[in-house]
Structure 1
Amino acid sequence: MEDKVAAKAEVRWYDGYPAVQSQDVSALSCADFLRMIYSGASPGHDFLLVDLRRNDHVGGTIHGSLNLPAQSLYPSLPTLYTIVKAAKIPRVIWYCGSSRGRGNRAAGWFQDLLTEKGDHNIASLVLVEGIAGWANGGAEYTKLIDEYDPKAWHKN
């Protein structure tokens, strides 16, 4: 009985989905993304920004983000691809808290789908350091966080 409990505890949310095949997921630094925004790039036209957080969605979200929790994302990727393709959005930018787990996985899954489709007109990018890096970047970043709560980012 104890072994069954231990085995069940080790199952991760993404274990039921295929492993990412793409080895080189492209990264976008917070500074480069901020420059892109200030140069006039707009969400839904020049990029789709996806916040992958589910229950750790505290402290705000980067302006223009669409919340698609990573835990339910994989089956939705073909539909998301169809929408992005039809809207001619050239970049999908993924982030979570730190973009070390969910962000990389989502960007990789989407890149796998792009590869499968032979689509080289859409880029799948992970936002380096995720929302935590964005929130800790200073006032020019935090003013672009909807529902920004500094207490969530600057804990003493």
Structure 2
Amino acid sequence: MASREPPAVPVDSERPWHAAFPAPTAAASIVTCETVLSWMQAGRLPGNDFVLVDLRRTDYEGGTIHGSINLPAQSLYPTIPSLYTLFSTAGIKNVIWFCGSSKGRGTRAAGWFADYIRAQNNTTMESSVLEGGIKGWVASGNEYVELTDGYDASIWKSS
């Protein structure tokens, strides 16, 4: 299987962090908080057939969705080939990316990963963005908050 390695590009402090990397060309699918909750309630846990990736770095506070991994978006792009290898070897079918609202980092990361999946001619893995991000997740009700590791209500009251 041919591998397309993304170039390692240094981040310039005068430009937005993502400007150092190409814009994603693929549109990632959207997964709702309700869908992820239903998977988890049905016993499908992150790490088995789907992975939740929290892209927050400096705003990583208030908790995260149970079972998610934290990979700050600013360092993500060069690691995509390694992540793809790990996820595909593990049989992961869906990688779900999120940030605060999933309108910037989440969408961009999901697009980059979708581009990479397509370049690998993989038709079984999907790259998705969590609609509403972590803010949407914790605002959706108690059943979501109960599945938020390290939940700190004081952080979300000001959001």
Q: Same fold, TM exceeding 0.5?
A: yes
Matches within 5 A, 1:77-92: 77-92=80-95
Secondary structure at the counterpart of residue 48 of structure 1: strand
Q: What is the Cα deviation at residue 155 of structure 1?
A: 2.4
Q: Within the alignment, does 1:135 sit opposite 2:119 as a pair? A: no
Q: Within the alignment, does 1:21 sit opposite 2:62 as a pair? A: no
Aligned length: 148
Instruction: For residues 27-85 of structure 1, give each alpha carbon's deviation from its aligned partner in whole angstroms, at most 9, with x where no partner exists.
Output: 00111111111111111111111000001011001110110000000000000000001
**Please, what is the CA RMSD of the aligned residues?**
1.3
Identify the match of residue 126 of structure 1 among 117, 125, 129. 129
> Which residue number corresponds to residue 115 of structure 2?
112
In the alignment, the residues of structure 1 paired with residue 102 and residue 60 of structure 2 have an alpha-carbon distance, to the nearest angstrom, of: 14
The gaps in structure 2 that reach 5 residues or longer are 1-11
- The structure with the greater share of residues assigned to helix is 1
In terms of Rg, which structure is larger?
1
In the alignment, the residues of structure 2 paired with residue 51 and residue 138 of structure 1 have an alpha-carbon distance, to the nearest angstrom, of: 19
Identify the match of residue 45 of structure 2 among 42, 47, 69. 42
Identity, % of aligned positions: 49
Q: Which amino acid aligns with 1:91?
A: N
After TM superposition, where is structure 1 displaced by more than 4 Å over at least 4 residues in a row?
none
The gaps in structure 1 that reach 5 residues or longer are 1-7
